[in-house]
Amino acid sequence: MTDTPGLEPAPGVRRRRGIHYELLDCALRGHRLIGTDAARVSPEDALVVRETPDGHRWHRCLRCDAWLPLPPPDRPGRETPEPRDAIELPLRGRPLRDRYVLRLIALDRLVHFVVLAVMAVAVFVFAHERARLRGPFYRVVDDLQNGVGGPSGVRGHGLLGDLDKAFAAHDRTLWVIGLVIAAYAVLEGVEAVGLWRAARWAEYLTFVATSVLLVPEVYELHERISPLKVCTLVINLAVVIYLLIAKRLFGLRGGGRAEEAARERDSGWEALERIHPGSHPGGHGRQG
Give 171-184 pLDDT, tens digit per residue. Answer: 777 788 889 999 99
Provide the pLDDT for residue 170: 66
**pLDDT-based confidence at residue 69 (cuts at 50, 70, 90):** very high
From 77, 109, 284, select the one nearest 184 (Cα to Cα): 109
Question: What domain range includes position 84?
Answer: 21-92
From 64, 62, 67, select the one nearest 25 (Cα to Cα): 64
pLDDT at 155 over 70: no
Domain shared by 116 and 191, yes or no: yes
Which has more confidence, 230 or 150? 230
Which has more confidence, 6 or 254? 254
Does some domain include residue 8?
Answer: no
The answer to whether residues 267 and 90 touch, using CB atoms and an 8 Å cutoff, is yes
**pLDDT-based confidence at residue 208 (cuts at 50, 70, 90):** very high
Does some domain include residue 272?
Answer: no
- 3-state SS, residue 90: coil
Last residue of a domain, one of 92, 120, 146: 92
Q: Residue 57 pairs with which residues in a beta bridge? A: 51, 70
Segment 60-86 mean pLDDT: 91
Domain count, the chain: 2
pLDDT at 101 over 90: yes
How far is 38 from 196, CA to CA, in rounded Å?
34
**Sign of the C-alpha dihedral, residues 124, 130, 135, 136?**
negative
- Main-chain dihedrals φ then ψ at residue 51, nearest 5 degrees: -115, 130
Q: What is the pTM of this model?
A: 0.73
pLDDT at 107 over 50: yes
Domain shared by 37 and 110, yes or no: no
